[in-house]
Structure 1
């Protein structure tokens, strides 16, 4: 086929290529396409001249505008730090009551609190702070070491069973794994613990567990099962459970023991942000009807 042949329908010359009866037309590139190609090339050349572009042996071309994005970012961060320095210092220094009484500071706390919690705490405690299996709810009134503001601040600072030299330590013995109690004894203790919280009645099995509880558990959980915040021992008379309060879950806890972990945030978050978090948690508990 001659390349001079024209397509009878469009009038375009053909290229001489044919596939299964389909003839390729030699159509020109549309002019707008050439316009955009030329514009892009010219713009690229201008950018090469104006901005840092080409790497050299030990440096790079600085461009006619001498733009340095690293310095721009550093300056923006510096300006942001300066803008936040005033209110951050005030939040750090003022008591909670005065912070919440100041509309500007209160707005900063209520805006920053959820963001800080979401970035640092929600992975374990959930976005709604209601916790989950192995992770305590932060919206109820059951706090291992107490829910007062200063106590929560300290827990955030040093963590629980963390590598911080002042960390809070909390561990429950493995009564079954270590051979302290038999499986039947553990079932009896679990039944008694369930009776303490009102989950079940005081059955014959629970009565047996009562004496076992007195011999093995009261040192941490107190004679009435109300716990000891000085030791981080939970109250067993309420209906708040970290690992679950069913017979099976309690058996697993007593048999294998528990040792929760929370990182220390002193080196990760400045005091201002830790304080915002503590205020956020305090208000969160009050919103849920559980004053801390």
Structure 2
């Protein structure tokens, strides 16, 4: 069917000849300002192609008359930032751990670097907010297994716990069931006593029997009344903070298998300054001693 063009009686604008269900399409021209904007953009694009890197080639790209490179600009910015940071990094390298918190400017820089290093290297286990989870210590509280001083944290980050480093700290808890050191009943009674150290719950008879077993098998590391020993990595059993859970089933599982988590040594993966920054950051989270 041939297109029939006509002038619309209402608007006075010619139609395109297209019609759908009685609706006719008007042939309204584009506004002048729009056309001129389009023309200017076309001219601008041609100029941009000539002066700036624009067209990909098989093995490279057009460089443009200006020879601009965002990568070169970024490299310059990185070099400038590294030069500024270098002053603080040298100061941290030369300072003792205890000196860093005493210098407000240096402390601010160390905390920023430690926070960044923690997010990249430590948050996968300890969590983004360092709250930890079952088997991964919460670094925000004041319950430290191997010590929460700056020096102790620094040593832990350097050499890890039960890692493959020669200077790592190791103290394995016996697996009392797996090694057939205690019977199921004895382990159950011991769990009742351990739980009684941080609460008033528990069967009095089981607690009394468990106390005798505890004195014979556990007191050497966990100390009397379950206060723990950071030199041996023996957790405090008298508070309500638990690494693997504080219900009876979890305590029994710990006695049965001995647990014993592993933290890697970071001395071969991170430079000494970053490890210092990490120690300062972790210590600042609220639970540092």
Query: Please, what TM-score do these two structures have when normalized by structure 2?
Result: 0.84
1:64 counterpart residue number: 65
Q: What's 2:9 paired with? A: 8
Q: Which consecutive unaligned segments of at least 5 residues does structure 2 have? A: none
Could you tell me how far apart the structure 1 residues matched to 2:57 and 2:199 are? 76
**Structure 1 pair 47–224 and aligned structure 2 pair: CA distance change class (3 A):** same
Q: Matches of 1:101 and 1:221 in 2, distance apart?
A: 35
Instruction: State the distance in 2 between where 1:128 and 1:55 align.
Output: 44
CA distance in 2, matches of 1:148, 1:209: 33
Aligned residues: 288
Q: 1:140 to 1:49 in 2, by over 3 A?
A: same
Deviation at 1:85, TM superposition (A): 0.6
Give the 3 Å change call, closer, same or farther, for CA 200–2 of structure 1 in structure 2: closer
Q: Which has the bigger relative contact order, CA under 8 A and spacing at least 6?
A: 2
Aligned partners of 1:134 and 1:242 also within 8 Å:
yes
User: What is the match of residue 243 of structure 2?
Assistant: 242
Matched, 1:210 2:204: no
Structure 2 CA distance, aligned partners of 1:257 and 1:8?
Answer: 93
Residues 77 and 268 (structure 1 numbering): CA distance in 2 closer, same or farther, change over 3 Å? farther
Unaligned runs of at least 5 residues, structure 1: none
Any residues of structure 2 matched to 1:116-155 within 5 Å, and which? 116-155=117-156
Higher mean alpha-carbon deviation, 134-143 vs 124-133, is at 124-133
Work out whether residues 150 and 288 of structure 2, in 8 Å CA contact, stay in contact via their aligned partners in 1.
Answer: no
1:184 offset after TM fit, Å?
2.9
Residues 1:146 and 1:114: Cα distance change in structure 2 (over 3 Å) = same
In the TM superposition, residue 191 of structure 1 has moved relative to its aligned partner by: 0.6
Moved more, 65-74 or 55-64: 55-64
Q: Contact 1:2/1:16 (CA < 8 Å) preserved in 2?
A: yes
Taking structure 1 as the reference length, what is the TM-score of the superposition?
A: 0.83
The 8 Å contact of residues 186 and 251 in structure 1, kept in 2 or not, is answered as yes
Deviation at 1:164, TM superposition (A): 4.9
